[in-house]
Structure 1
Amino acid sequence: MLQKWRGQNQHVAQPLDHEKMIKELRVAIGPLTGHASKFCTDACLRRYLEARSWNLEKAKKMLEDTLEWRSNYKPHEIRWEQVEEEGKTGKVSRANFVDRFGRPVLIMRPGKQNTKTGEGNVRHLVYLIENAILNLPEGQEQMSWLIDFTGYSMNATNIQPKTARDIINVTQSHYPERLAIIVLYNPPKIFQALFKVISYFIDPKTYLKIKFVYPNDKESIEIMKSYFDTDNLPREFGGKANFNLNYDHEEFSKLMVEDDIKKAKFWESDNNDTNGHSETTS
């Protein structure tokens, strides 16, 4: 009787048909044109479904919110000349090395914060996120963030809690499944107070990707080895590479201007070539 009861009542979860759900989400959001059509690749729809645990209605709402945000904010139209002032100190830049899995790395240096404009900081970071996505290798969808706290102090020039919250909101809401890992490298104790405040706004899945790393700490060294090839990682982050990571604003600006041309060509290309199925962008 026990075996019969189990056979009648035990629920066995059936695996989700992800490809079918991607098609259902595409139908649910309806016909798209222009930028929205090119943005909504199958890979993009998959990321939104993953971010909402494959709940179709929640993924649809999240994607629709992003499409509205992109229509108004136009992140793909931001050019380096518009955010260059924010980047003069090198507070955020794309590294000249990748992580162990070939993903681009954004290096952030809160100690080099140079402006007090919250919106300027957000716009500058959005620009660099879009730039990192543009430079993703084929088959790769994520990037890594390496946040270096050298020179950090809780003074007026550092990012304020509201700006940090705005950054969290933009990245979580409009760039789902784009972050592989966030390394907080050598954060001072004074940062803990700010982190406690902003952690309330961090999605649980994103929170698990945040790693506190400290020099000469055995566990931290293993974390860095698992995500970075130490032969290519600069010495200042515990690696063996002996190249100069000093930020050169002139050289970085040249690189960004070149990428702006590449970005413009991509978004201005014939939308009919993609039919929403290209894997090359968001």
Structure 2
Amino acid sequence: MFGFWSNSHHGQEDDPLPAELKINELKTAIGPQSGRSLQYCSDACLRRYLEARNWNLEKSKKMLEETLNWRSTYKPEEIQWDEVAVEGETGKVYRANFHDRQGRTVLILRPGMQNTKCLDSQMRHLVYLIENAVLNLPEGQEQMSWLIDFTGWSLSTSVPIKSARDTINILQNHYPERLGVAFLYNPPRIFEAFWKIVKYFLDAKTFQKVKFVYPKNKDSVELMRSYFDEENLPTEFGGKAILNYDHEEFTRLMTLDDATTAAFWGFDDKPKHVGNGYSASEVAPEPVS
């Protein structure tokens, strides 16, 4: 949404047309845009849709048009923290105060901390935080990392299959190339039955980004450390930092980010300068090592 840069050229090795020409073709194909759709459809945004569909123009066009329709009705950029704050009271999903080694924003998900039953509200909360993660991407970085902690997870606390499917659908179809990696940390054996169903909703690219990590498996632990500095990584994920979610503090920071979002999309009368298209606000909650 806010970070529209891209440094990759995946799928272009065998294509005679440079990426820039493909981007211009897609821009022409979707036709003139206005308002927020025009703001959304930056060159880097179009590149992500092309990459997600292996640079196939028609498939990329269809995907982008579906997203523009979704954004025009769902209006993810208009969701305010106070609308979804109740969903975040337990810290089941939040933006961490650290980045991975590649500078990607990190979302921490703790499905065992589920505290509500309304799927629509849960999805709005997640969409809000995906938008917020993008808002806080460092310059030059387009992707986020997900850390999923299964502490307290059971089939009774697990998200319904429909919720998992909707999450995957939104992430894959409306935030293409935004997920860099998702670590599923120490899932219980019973999760295997759930995973056997969920994995069929994943496209090949997303599937490759999902990593299972088990604390007693040396290779998977080393993989985790290759992505994260263990001084920043919470102990729940094998690191050294203490994870303390402070809902009041997180609410304060999200309220600040809401003002930045409003300025970016032109909700207020006095748009503020947003460096690199995102907020430089601090992140939270802060682990104490």
TM-score by length of 1: 0.89
Write the distance in 1 (CA, Å) between the matches of 2:32 and 2:254: 33
Q: Give deviations 1:197-246, integer Å, cap 9, x for gaps.
A: 11111111000000000113101111102211223222332223x3x312
1:204 and 2:194 are equivalent in the alignment:
no
Write the distance in 2 (CA, Å) between the matches of 1:139 and 1:147: 25
1:221 and 2:221 are equivalent in the alignment:
yes
Write the distance in 1 (CA, Å) between the matches of 2:243 and 2:73: 36
Instruction: Report matched runs for 1:33-44 at 5 Å.
Output: 33-44=34-45
Greater mean deviation of Cα atoms: 72-81 or 117-126: 117-126
Asked if the contact 2:119–2:163 (Cα under 8 Å) also holds between the matched residues in 1, the reply is yes
Instruction: Report matched runs for 1:110-189 at 5 Å.
Output: 110-155=111-156, 157-189=157-189
Aligned to 2:285: none
Aligned to 1:235: 235
Aligned to 1:280: 277
Instruction: Report matched runs for 1:238-277 at 5 Å.
Output: 238-240=238-240, 242=241, 244-268=242-266
Code of the aligned partner of 1:79: Q
Secondary structure at the aligned position of 1:111 is classed as: helix
By percentage of residues, which structure has more helix? 1
Q: Give deviations 1:91-128, integer Å, cap 9, x for gaps.
A: 00001111011111000001000111111111100000
Secondary structure at the aligned position of 2:38 is classed as: helix
Cα distance, 1:247 vs structure 2: 1.1
Secondary structure at the aligned position of 1:189 is classed as: coil
Asked if the contact 1:91–1:113 (Cα under 8 Å) also holds between the matched residues in 2, the reply is yes
Code of the aligned partner of 1:210: V
Change in Cα spacing, 1:136 to 1:18, as seen in structure 2 (3 Å) is same
Can you give the 5+ residue segments of structure 2 that lack an aligned partner in the other structure? 1-12, 269-274, 279-289
State how many pairs are aligned: 261
Cα distance, 1:280 vs structure 2: 3.4
Cα distance, 1:13 vs structure 2: 4.6
Q: Give deviations 1:162-201, integer Å, cap 9, x for gaps.
A: 1110111111110000000000001001111111111111
Code of the aligned partner of 1:251: E
Aligned to 2:100: 99
Asked if the contact 2:235–2:243 (Cα under 8 Å) also holds between the matched residues in 1, the reply is no
Greater mean deviation of Cα atoms: 157-166 or 39-48: 157-166
Point out the structure with max Rg over C-alpha: 1
Across the aligned residues of Structure 1 and Structure 2, the Cα RMSD in angstroms comes to: 1.9
Asked if the contact 1:48–1:62 (Cα under 8 Å) also holds between the matched residues in 2, the reply is yes
Q: Which has the higher contact order (CA 8 A, sep 6+)?
A: 1
Change in Cα spacing, 1:187 to 1:98, as seen in structure 2 (3 Å) is same
1:67 and 2:65 are equivalent in the alignment:
no
Write the distance in 1 (CA, Å) between the matches of 2:267 and 2:123: 27
Change in Cα spacing, 1:70 to 1:100, as seen in structure 2 (3 Å) is same
Asked if the contact 1:43–1:279 (Cα under 8 Å) also holds between the matched residues in 2, the reply is no
Identity of aligned residues (%): 63
Runs of 4+ in 1 over 6 A off after TM superposition: none
Write the distance in 2 (CA, Å) between the matches of 1:91 and 1:15: 46
Code of the aligned partner of 1:102: G
Greater mean deviation of Cα atoms: 261-270 or 145-154: 261-270
Change in Cα spacing, 1:269 to 1:41, as seen in structure 2 (3 Å) is farther
Greater mean deviation of Cα atoms: 88-97 or 13-22: 13-22
Change in Cα spacing, 1:263 to 1:234, as seen in structure 2 (3 Å) is same
Asked if the contact 2:50–2:56 (Cα under 8 Å) also holds between the matched residues in 1, the reply is yes
